A and B are shown apart, each in its own frame.
Chain A
Amino acid sequence: KQEVTQIPAALSVPEGENLVLNCSFTDSAIYNLQWFRQDPGKGLTSLLLIQSSQREQTSGRLNASLDKSSGRSTLYIAASQPGDSATYLCAVRQRETSGSRLTFGEGTQLTVNP
């Protein structure tokens, strides 16, 4: 059974700092990995999706990498801003599931201080 873990559980940084969020998964036979942002009491906003054949994806100040063989992904946020404060979730899709369910980590709660 796939297990997804995110470290750290919480992170507080000053504005302008570059930071890395970590995600690990136990079963490397994934189809893709998706990073989401969740604001308090709100839904999930998709940030980046990496296919299993890809090593990284970039969108603006965000860069996500994937090392499938070691079961790890990182989300790099450059020049962090207070508006980046949110919980960041990673989720994986297994290759063998026809319904394409996502298995989520518990998230990293990020606070960017002005």
Chain B
Amino acid sequence: EPEVTQTPSHQVTQMGQEVILRCVPISNHLYFYWYRQILGQKVEFLVSFYNNEISEKSEIFDDQFSVERPDGSNFTLKIRSTKLEDSAMYFCASKTTAIYEQYFGPGTRLTVT
């Protein structure tokens, strides 16, 4: 069964460093998402992406964040200058137009020290 994959599974970085989190959505999906979950808190929406542009973003998704679909398979989230409070599990999700369910990847645990 097709699934969303994410790399790396765990990333440790120092405050102020740039990180890129990578996702490979399900191949025929057209809508892509990033969510995050700070330990012990709710899963929060960050951004949605369709047709090579951001379709919606939350108040969390400020200028430090950017997304890109550099080729036909990858979808990336970049954090330009990480802060301690960016430590969280980051989930990528995707869906098609034909179905309504969002399918989630296993997540990348980001630890900022």
Say if A and B assemble together.
yes
Where the two chains meet, the residues of A that have a C-beta atom closer than 8 Å to any C-beta of B are: 31-32, 34, 36, 41-46, 49, 51, 89, 91, 93, 97-107
Give the 9 A-B CB pairs with smallest separation, nearest first. A99-B56, A99-B48, A43-B106, A99-B55, A44-B104, A101-B45, A104-B43, A49-B101, A43-B104
For chain B, the bracket of interface size reads 20 to 34
CA distance A32 to B48 in the complex (A): 17
- Chain B residue numbers with a CB within 8 Å of A43 are 4, 91, 104-107
Select from chain B the residue with minimum beta-carbon distance to A31.
B100
Given A34-B101, A104-B43, CB of A98 within 8 Å of CB of B106: no
> How far apart sit A105 and B41, CA to CA, in the bound complex (Å)?
9
List of A residues within 8 angstroms of B43 by Cβ? 44, 89, 91, 102, 104
Give the nearest-CB partner of B48 in chain A: A99
Q: How near does chain A come to B42, taking the closest CB pair, in angstroms?
A: 5
Interchain residue pairs with CB less than 8 A apart (15): A32-B100, A34-B102, A36-B104, A42-B106, A43-B107, A44-B93, A45-B104, A99-B54, A99-B57, A100-B31, A100-B56, A100-B102, A101-B48, A102-B102, A103-B45
**With A44-B43, A44-B91, A106-B42 in contact, is A101–B103 under 8 Å at CB?**
no
B11 to chain A, nearest CB (A): 14
Interface 1/0s, chain B 82-102, versus A by CB < 8 A? 000000000101010000111
Please tell me if the beta carbons of A101 and B101 are within 8 angstroms of each other in the complex.
no
**Cβ–Cβ contact B55 & A98, under 8 A:** yes
Contact B104 A101 (CB under 8 A): no
Q: For residue A44, which residues in chain B have a CB less than 8 angstroms away from its CB?
A: 43, 91, 93, 104
Q: Name the residue on A nearest B41 (C-beta).
A: A106
Interface bits B12-32 vs A (CB < 8 Å: 1, else 0): 000000000000000000010
Q: Are B55 and A46 in contact (CB under 8 A)?
A: no
Say yes or no: B103 contacts A46, CB within 8 Å: yes
A85, chain B: closest CB distance, angstroms: 18
User: Which chain B residue shows the least CB distance to A34?
Assistant: B101
Task: Say whether A104 contacts B100, CB under 8 Å.
Answer: no
